[in-house]
């Protein structure tokens, strides 16, 4: 099915200078979406804009003032909260609390800030809307070394459910996708280790890493009218890992 977004308002995608965010921007633009791409790497955003025709709007997810100034006054119909920070591989016994705080600040608090200010626009416009939060399989099951990241994404899943409850009366749907590992340069340092990656894949029914487009596709679906009766869902996109 080809989704159409040409009749919708602007869709803000955070984390668009990263792999999943950029893939989401490409798919939305291909479907006629009016996309605003945000991220920290302005060079990557510029390249993405030249490739897709999207607008760009860099801002700092950790700053409420920065988020508010960027989003206030925009006519936003949709949001993809894809901006994130991986943090560290650590146990509860040896975690660096400063890093834990930063992970929570960006992954959970940052997404909540974007939701807070973007929904003011959605409610003002009175045309409903859709939000998709990019969570993780680490929110659904315990993964060794993921105390900070998993905690932040579990918080994001609850933000998803409570937001769906509160915003439904305005016709605004809120869902999450919970991806497995996409083997990027950032993830390869850990998941690319044979002693880590191979046992993980052995537990997964599909037995392979996800691609960026395989995560972007369900994001686009959840934004679309094809998902018009779906809200409050945390959708695993994990090759069956969390089903086992």
Please give the positions annotated as active site: 149
Q: With helix as H, strand as E and coil as C, how does 150-177 read?
A: HHHHHHHHHHHHHHHHHHHHHCEEEEEE
> Cα–Cα distance between 36 and 212 in angstroms, integer?
19
Pull the structure tokens for residue 89: 């591989």
DSSP strand pairing (76-81 vs 34-37): unpaired
Q: Which one-letter DSSP state was computed for residue 37?
A: E
Contacts of 208 by beta carbon, 8 Å cutoff, 6+ apart: 201, 239
The first and second tokens of residue 237, run together, are 């996109």
Structural contact between residues 29 and 56, judged by C-beta atoms closer than 8 angstroms: no
Tokens linked to 103: 């992970």
Contacts of 171 (CB under 8 A, 6+ apart): 127, 128, 129
H-helix or E-strand spanning residue 52: helix 42-52
Cβ-contact 33, 11 below 8 angstroms? yes
Q: How far apart are CA 70 and CA 56, in angstroms?
A: 11
DSSP code at position 129: E
């Amino acid at each position: 099915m080809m989704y159409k977004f040409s009749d919708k308002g602007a869709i803000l995608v955070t984390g668009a200078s990263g792999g999943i965010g950029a893939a989401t921007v490409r798919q939305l633009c291909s479907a006629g979406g009016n996309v605003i791409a945000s991220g920290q790497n302005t060079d990557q955003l510029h390249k993405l804009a030249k490739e897709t025709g999207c607008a760009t709007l860099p801002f700092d997810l950790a700053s409420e003032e920065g988020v508010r100034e960027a989003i206030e006054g925009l006519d936003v119909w949709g949001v993809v909260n894809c901006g994130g920070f991986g943090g560290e591989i650590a146990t509860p016994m040896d975690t660096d609390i400063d890093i834990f705080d930063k992970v929570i600040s960006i992954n959970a608090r940052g997404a909540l800030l974007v939701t807070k200010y973007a929904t003011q626009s959605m409610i003002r416009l009175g045309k409903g809307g859709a939000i998709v939060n990019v969570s993780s399989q680490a929110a659904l099951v315990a993964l060794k070394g993921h105390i900070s990241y998993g905690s932040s994404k579990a918080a994001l899943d609850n933000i998803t459910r409570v937001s769906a409850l509160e915003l439904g009366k305005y016709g605004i749907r809120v869902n999450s996708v919970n991806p497995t590992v996409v083997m990027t340069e950032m993830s390869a340092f850990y998941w690319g280790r044979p002693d880590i990656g191979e046992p993980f894949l052995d537990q997964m029914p599909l037995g392979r890493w996800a691609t960026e487009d395989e995560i972007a596709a369900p994001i686009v679906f959840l934004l679309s009218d094809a998902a018009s009766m779906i809200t409050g869902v945390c959708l695993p996109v994990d090759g069956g890992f969390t089903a086992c």
